[in-house]
Amino acid sequence: RSGSSVCFTLQCVTVLPVCGRNRPEGKILETVGVFEAVKQHGKYETGQLFLHSVFGYRGIVLFPWHARLYDRDITPPIKPEPPGAHGSKEVKGKTHTYYQVLIDTRDCPHISQRSQTEAVTFLANHDDSRALYAIPGLDYVSHEDILPYNSTEQVPIQHELFERFLMYNPAKSPPFTARDTLKAWQEKNHPWLELSDVHRETTENIRVTVIPFYMGMREAQNSHVYWWRYCIRLENMGSEVVQLRERHWRIFSLSGTLETVRGRGVVGREPVLSKEQPAFQYSSHVSLQAPSGHMWGTFRIERTDGSHFDVRIPPFSLESNKDDKAPPAGYTF
């Protein structure tokens, strides 16, 4: 320890105190950098290196987003909420900072608490309304999830976009500045990247956070199909080990349809949430034949004694109020 900085080493993205215990035989730890003080006020700048406080990966900040956080845990209900009801709370959003970041590809295989390496998905640039493509290793990170650090390396993060988007400038702090290609890419793809609303609710110590993204509209069989991506994080805020067993979605479309979706787990998995690995995150997609709608639902959670309880998924809007422009451009993957 030197002042407020802490030197740390990292072989993989396990929690730091147990990394040595889990280190594969024959592997040695390498110095990654020096922790910096966490920012209580203000925002992190483009080029800030960080460790993700929940998922443990190394990353670098590209640019911030100012989202509206609708937290149902801090707003009292206006009137008693009947069992199973959603929407009887008037929740006021507050501004919260998120960041578009690059994930170090060396850490991706070790992020077991994620259903996949996080990626930004887009509609494909052709007539197939179901075709999607993705840019892997892009993530959205909340301000409180960032553990900032610095490094003496000129290329401290391994990602194919690192040197396209950022350049080393030792006269700056942090010493990585945005290239014109990053600024142009952000401007061109702003409608598809923008994070605007975040929804959060906790049931029996299980917190669910939802971030929806509008992806655009395509024509299919003489009708319009509107697409959204949504990212969900489940966090166990308590000490009891639990497992997600089922999902139950209600999807309402402005066209007047109400769809019910039930199934085992999420994205083919039934994650365990424990004190050692308290969070799980995944992304999925939904399409409607209307320009807006709503989604809400529950996750069925099982305790170690076999008993169950339902965790509410906060209701969120599916809005298409952005201009439907051409699909993202700037790079082909």
Would residue 29 count as lying in a domain? no
Q: If you average pLDDT over residues 1-20, what whole number do you get?
A: 39
Convert the pLDDT of each residue in 132-191 to its tens digit: 667 888 899 999 999 999 999 999 999 999 999 999 999 999 999 999 999 999 988 887
pLDDT of 92: 85
Say whether pLDDT at 231 is over 80.
yes
Residue 222: φ, ψ to 5°: 65, 25
Nearest to 284 by CA among 218, 227, 226: 227
Q: What integer pLDDT is reported at residue 124 of this predicted model?
A: 58
- Whether residue 20 lies inside any domain: the answer is no
Question: Would you say residue 12 has pLDDT above 90?
Answer: no
The helix or strand, by DSSP H or E, that contains position 211, with its residue range, turns out to be strand 206-220
Residue 13 lies in a domain: no
The single-letter DSSP state of residue 108 is G
Q: What is the pLDDT of residues 262-292, one digit of tens each?
A: 999 999 999 999 999 999 999 999 999 999 9
Residue 77, domain CATH: 2.60.40.1470
Per-residue confidence (pLDDT) for residue 114, from 0 to 100 = 74
Residue 276 burial by Cβ neighbours in a 10 Å radius (0-12, 13-18, 19+): exposed
Determine the number of helices (DSSP H) and then strands (DSSP E) in the chain.
3, 20
- Helix (H) / strand (E) element for 272: namely strand 272-273
Q: Is residue 327 part of a domain?
A: no
Residue 4's pLDDT is 41
Look at residue 199 and tell me if it is in a domain: yes
What mean pLDDT do residues 288-314 have? 96
Q: Average pLDDT of the chain?
A: 83
Give 119's strand partners.
Answer: 136
Residue at 258 is within a domain: yes
Residue 332 lies in a domain: no
Residue 180 structural domain: 34-319
Number of domains in the chain: 1
The band of 75, judged by pLDDT with boundaries at 50, 70 and 90, is low
Does 25 score more than 80 pLDDT?
no
- Mean pLDDT along residues 21-36: 72
At 329 the pLDDT is 42
